[in-house]
Amino acid sequence: MDKNLKQGVFNLSLVSKSQGAFLGSAVGDALGWPQEDRAQRVGEPATRQDGRGLLFQTWVRRSGGRFLAHEETILPGEYSDDTQLILSVARSRLRGSNWWEHLVARELPTWSLYERGGGGATKRAVDSWVSGRPPWTGDRRRTEGSMYFQAGGNGVAMRIAPHCVIGAKSENFSRVGTNIILDGIATHGHPRALLGANAYGYALWTALRQTDTLKYGQLIKKTLSGSDEWSRLPDVENFPHGWSKAASELTQDGYKRIWAQTVREMVSLLEIAEQGLGEGALSIDREILEKMGCFDRKTNGSGTIAAASSVFLASRYAADPLHGFLEAAFSKGADTDTIASMMGGILGALAGIEAIKELSEGIQDGEYLRSIAEQAAAFEVTEDTLHPIDQVTKSSL
């Protein structure tokens, strides 16, 4: 273990950083959700100019789909699926070494009862788990499995903070990265989802371990220099039963080739971010995000784009978190809740809970978020005894 991480002082600091990451994510989620194009908001959203930018809002969204359509009031500080799933992963990790089984058998199926704003890929995967089968298999595998391996959205990256907090005391990212990808394949199969999550996870893990002042742009440089660590494809033969075979059968160009292509894509996006920081002027933020594809409705939900955008904004506003939240939450045309949430996680990890304490007052479940973040910071990974986990089924739901 790194000598800087042995001292009890760091344990206190890690608690603050962990709470900052969890609360920062929730704050970004709650601020950005009303502005998101896909939020189904009734009426016009707030603007940066009307004085409500960093205030939690009451707003109304259309819910229920075709057959159960209704309007739902969202109260100030309430969050969406981004934060819900961070908590689901955190509860699973705190179960011990069979955390993945707990995630897919209990947390994800139960989430289907209370989800708010969940993405299509995640909800399809959850339906499979509720039916008692992995999303990469099934009677209609050629259709369902193909959709699973095409799912490259940011639904993985937005939920992986608990893995980074629990792994922050380790010098090596390898185990953290493996856990992130194992978590990811529970719902998404495309490398864009998995590599985006891993690259973002590396940046967040780095921020949690940072014990001195971070120089301007240093976070992006560190993430780029760590590409050999976050871009490594774990041994798929150790993945859950049937995954490797399905990946081989259902990906036309070969999974390893697609993975390698996506690594180059992720590196390219981070290089755009690094170049943008070198430009210096704040006015070019939107221009850089546009180069990444952040405002293209066809691509802005991609795991790689969300990762690069959030790391860029966190690097840009590391010394001015409040401005960062404002910029991310009001990046009109972007996936604002997820980008603001992911950026907020990094800013909170860098600055600690005290730096965003005032902003986090009024966030939904604030005390619970602090508590579970503290538990994650104190958690010690052990090879404990496995306990049976009862599968949540349709009938039990």
Q: Which pair of structure tokens corresponds to residue 253?
A: 């160009």
Q: How far apart are CA 313 and CA 324, in angstroms?
A: 7
Task: Enumerate residues 6+ apart whose C-beta is below 8 A from 3.
Answer: none
170 close to 14: Cβ distance less than 8 angstroms: no
Q: Chain centroid to CA 13: how far?
A: 22
Helices (H) and strands (E) in the chain, counts: 19, 2
The pLDDT, as a whole number, for residue 310 is 96
* pLDDT value, residue 371: 97
Q: Look-up: residue for tokens 């937005």?
A: 158
Domains defined for the chain, CATH in brackets: 3-40+80-378 (1.10.4080.10)
DSSP string, 48-68: GGGT-TTS---EEEEESTTTS
Quote the pLDDT of residue 67: 74
- Predicted confidence at residue 142, as pLDDT, reads 54
150, pLDDT greater than 60: yes
d(CA 76, CA 182): 34
3-state secondary structure of 291: helix
Give the residue with greater pLDDT, 212 vs 27: 27
- pTM of the predicted model as reported, rounded to 2 decimal places: 0.92
Q: Helix, strand, coil % (nearest 5) of the chain?
A: 60, 5, 35
Q: What are 42-95's pLDDT values in tens digits?
A: 877 666 655 556 789 898 988 776 677 788 899 999 999 999 999 999 999 999
Mind spelling out the 3-state secondary structure of 213-250? CCCCCHHHHHHHHCHHHHCCCCCHHHCCCCHHHHHHHH
36: which 2 tokens? 């998101």
Token digits of residue 351: 């600055």
Instruction: Write down the pLDDT at residue 38.
Output: 72
pLDDT at 39 over 50: yes
- Measured CA to CA, the distance from residue 364 to residue 200 in angstroms comes to 24
pLDDT recorded at residue 50:
53
Distance in angstroms (rounded) separating the CA atoms of residues 247 and 282: 43
97-111, 268-282, 296-310: range with lowest mean pLDDT: 268-282
Q: What is the pLDDT of residues 356-373, one digit of tens each?
A: 888 899 999 999 999 999
In tens, the pLDDT along 294-311 reads 888 888 789 999 999 999
Of 7-21, 101-115, 160-174, 274-288, the poorest mean pLDDT is in 7-21
Q: What is the mean pLDDT of the chain?
A: 88
Distance CA 159, CA 342 (A): 9
- Over range 115-122, report the average pLDDT: 93
pLDDT computed for residue 228 by the predictor: 96
Tokens 């940066």 found at: 48
Task: With a cut of 70, say whether residue 163 has pLDDT above it.
Answer: yes
Provide mean pLDDT across the span 172-190. 96
16 falls in which pLDDT band (50, 70, 90)?
very high
Inform me whether the pLDDT recorded for 390 exceeds 70.
yes
- 9-13, 87-91, 156-160, 362-366: which has the minimum mean pLDDT? 9-13
Q: Stretch 238-257: mean pLDDT, rounded?
A: 86
Token reading at 185: 């394949």
- pLDDT score recorded for residue 144: 64
Say which range, 81-90, 122-131, 258-267, 352-361, has the weakest mean pLDDT. Answer: 352-361
pLDDT-derived band at 169 (thresholds 50, 70, 90) equals very high
Which 3-state string (H, E, C) describes 300-315? CCEHHHHHHHHHHHHH
Residue 236 pLDDT: 78
Is the Cβ–Cβ distance between 155 and 123 less than 8 Å?
Answer: no
Closest CA to 197 of 155, 240, 137, 250: 155
Higher pLDDT, residue 263 or 12: 263
Backbone angles phi, psi at 13, to 5 degrees: -65, -40
Summarize the confidence of residues 387-395 as an average pLDDT. 85
d(CA 335, CA 286): 13
> Is residue 4 pLDDT above 90, yes or no?
no
pLDDT for residue 230: 97
> What is the pLDDT at residue 11?
40
Lowest mean pLDDT among 120-124, 312-316, 388-392: 388-392
% of the chain beyond a pLDDT of 90: 61
